[in-house]
Amino acid sequence: MSRLFGTDGVRGMANREITAELALGLAVAAAHVLGAPARAAGRKPKAVVGRDPRASGEFLAAAVIAGLASAGVDVHDAGVLPTPAVAFLTADMDAHFGVMLSASHNAMPDNGIKFFAAGGHKLPDSVEDEIAARLHQEWERPTGAEVGRVHRNRAGQARYVAHLLAALPNRLDGVTVVIDGAHGAASAVSPEVFRLAGADVIEIGTSPDGLNINDGYGSTHLGHLQAAVVARGADFGIAHDGDADRCLAVDHTGAVVDGDQIMAILALAMQERGKLAGNTLVATVMSNLGLLQAMEREGVDVLKTGVGDRYVLEKMREGDFSLGGEQSGHVILLEHGTTGDGVLTGLMLAARVAETGKSLAELAAVMTRLPQVLINVKGVDTSRVASDEEVQAAVAREEDELAGSGRVLLRKSGTEPLVRVMVEAATAEQAQAVADRLAAVVKERLAL
DSSP state of 239: E
What average pLDDT score do residues 23-27 get? 98
Say whether both 291 and 339 belong to one domain.
yes
Nearest Cα residue to 343 out of 119, 215, 115, 172: 172
Asked if 277 and 340 sit in the same domain, the reply is yes
Handedness of CA 382, 405, 262, 298 (dihedral sign): positive
- 185 and 293 fall within a common domain: yes
CB 248 within 8 A of CB 217: no
Within this chain, do residues 179 and 270 fall inside the same structural domain, yes or no? yes
Which of the residues 104, 219, 287, 328 is marked catalytic? 104
Cβ count near 439 (within 10 Å): 20
Q: Which comes out higher in pLDDT, residue 289 or 205?
A: 205
Contact 432, 408 (CB under 8 A): no
Task: Classify residue 5: in a domain, yes or no.
Answer: no
**One-letter identity of residue 317:** R
What does pTM read for this prediction?
Answer: 0.89
Residue 104 annotated as catalytic: yes
Query: Is 254 a member of any domain?
Result: yes
Note whether residue 1 is domain-resident.
no
Q: Are residues 168 and 146 in the same domain?
A: no
Residue 309 pLDDT > 90: no
* Burial class of residue 164 in the structure, from the number of CB atoms within 10 Å of its CB (0-12 exposed, 13-18 middle, 19+ buried): buried
Contact in structure between 9 and 30 (CB atoms under 8 Å): no
Distances (CA, A) of 219 to 212, 224, 235, 256, 430: 14, 10, 18, 10, 27
Q: What is the percent of the chain where pLDDT is above 90?
A: 88
CATH number assigned to the domain comprising residue 190: 3.40.120.10
Q: Report the sign of the C-alpha dihedral through residues 263, 267, 269, 273, in that order.
A: positive
- 359 with 376, same domain? no
How would residue 2 be classed by pLDDT, with cut points 50, 70 and 90?
A: low
End-of-domain residue from the set 98, 122, 153? 153
Compute CA 190 distance to the chain's CA centroid, rounded to the nearest angstrom. Answer: 16
pLDDT of residue 267: 98
- Under DSSP, the state recorded for 146 is G
Angle made by CA atoms 293, 258, 103, in degrees to the nearest 5: 130
Residues 137 and 181 in one domain: no
Looking at residue 286, its pLDDT comes to 87
Cα distance between residue 164 and residue 317, in whole Å: 21
Same domain, 401 and 295: no
Binding-site residue positions: 104, 241, 243, 245
**Contact 56/15 with Cβ under 8 angstroms?**
yes
pLDDT mean over 314-323:
95
Q: Within this chain, do residues 224 and 284 fall inside the same structural domain, yes or no? A: yes
How many structural domains compose the chain?
A: 3
Say yes or no to pLDDT of 305 above 70.
Answer: yes
Binding site per annotation, positions for Mg(2+): 104, 241, 243, 245
Q: Give 173-221 pLDDT, tens digit per residue.
A: 999 999 999 999 999 999 999 999 999 999 999 999 999 999 999 999 9
101-113 confidence digits (pLDDT tens): 999 999 999 999 9
CATH number of residue 432's parent domain: 3.30.310.50
Q: What is the pLDDT confidence band of residue 415, given thresholds at 50, 70 and 90?
A: low
pLDDT in the model for residue 299: 96
121 and 202 assigned to the same domain: no
Give 406's pLDDT tier (boundaries 50, 70, 90).
confident
Judge whether 120 lies within some domain. Answer: yes
180 plus 328 within the same structural domain = yes
pLDDT reading at 229 higher than 60: yes
Q: Last residue of a domain, which of 323, 338, 364?
A: 364
pLDDT score for 1:
47
Answer for the pair 204, 180: CB distance below 8 angstroms, yes or no: yes
What 3-state class would DSSP assign to 60? Answer: helix
- Among 364, 397, 417, give the residue marking a domain's end: 364
Q: Which residue has the higher pLDDT, 60 or 414?
A: 60
Q: In which domain, by residue range, is 323 found?
A: 161-364
Residue 2 lies in a domain: no
Note the pLDDT tens digit of each residue in 230-274: 999 999 999 999 999 999 999 999 999 999 999 999 999 999 999
